[in-house]
Chains A and B, each alone.
Chain A
Amino acid sequence: QKEVEQNSGPLSVPEGAIASLNCTYSDRGSQSFFWYRQYSGKSPELIMSIYSNGDKEDGRFTAQLNKASQYVSLLIRDSQPSDSATYLCAVIVGTSYDKVIFGPGTSLSVIP
């Protein structure tokens, strides 16, 4: 079992819709979770971090965490064509829980 899993997509949504991106992780002890956005040919850019169960909102982005289910999600409201990118879920794992591991990413396409 991979440490971090995501639906590979591609996920296509119309402009203005809500995009929902999902991530599961295997290490029940993980406490820190991140979402990165990566445009084609560019390096990953941090967009959200979440550490506690529940929702965390930042503008059009909402991260949701459920540690019991080992599940993290990212919702993008009012999706824009500029949101078209690959979204990477990252989890802190390791013996000392200090190493950042990434999922394979989900490709999102927002259709005008």
Chain B
Amino acid sequence: DTGVSQDPRHKITKRGQNVTFRCDPISEHNRLYWYRQTLGQGPEFLTYFQNEAQLEKSRLLSDRFSAERPKGSFSTLEIQRTEQGDSAMYLCASSLRGATEAFFGQGTRLTVV
């Protein structure tokens, strides 16, 4: 399978715990995006990378959120001290370069209890 892969697909965690999600983009895609989506809303931009460089982090994102893309391949998104409001679908997408079509993984659904 050469599509975008996300792991895990589902995560249930207790409030206050840390969680980490992984995204493997389509090979040779330089651009990688993270989005968050809640029910009835469109994907909300969180951050994006060009190779290993993080280009922008949404100002709506608290300091509890951090993302990395070491070596410009896979990426991780970590949420520290999770809150119930963090419950959402976290989507990863990749594109060959900027200003081109982005392709999504299947998402990680986070439930904070």
Tell me the number of A-to-B contacts counted with CB atoms below 8 Å. 59
Instruction: Give the CA-CA distance A104 to B45 in the complex, in Å.
Output: 12
Interface-side segment among B70-78, B79-87, B91-99: B91-99
Those of A1-39 within 8 Å (CB) of chain B: 4, 6, 31-32, 34
Which residue on chain A has the smallest CB distance to residue B104?
Answer: A43
Q: Please tell me if the beta carbons of B99 and A32 are within 8 angstroms of each other in the complex.
A: yes
From B42, B97, B103, contact of A88 by CB (8 A)? B42
Q: Please tell me if the beta carbons of B99 and A31 are within 8 angstroms of each other in the complex.
A: yes
From A6, A98, A102, contact of B31 by CB (8 A)? A98
- Count of interface residues, chain B, beta-carbon cutoff 8 Å: 27
| Interface residue? B43 (CB, 8 A) | yes
User: In the complex where A94-B56, A100-B93, A103-B42 touch, is A49 in contact with B101 (Cβ < 8 A)?
Assistant: yes
Q: Residues of A contacting B62 with CB < 8 Å?
A: none
From B33, B55, B91, B97, contact of A43 by CB (8 A)? B91
User: In the complex where A43-B105, A43-B107, A44-B104 touch, is A99 in contact with B43 (Cβ < 8 A)?
Assistant: no
A→B interface (CB under 8 Å): 4, 6, 31-32, 34, 42-46, 49, 88, 90, 92, 94, 96-105
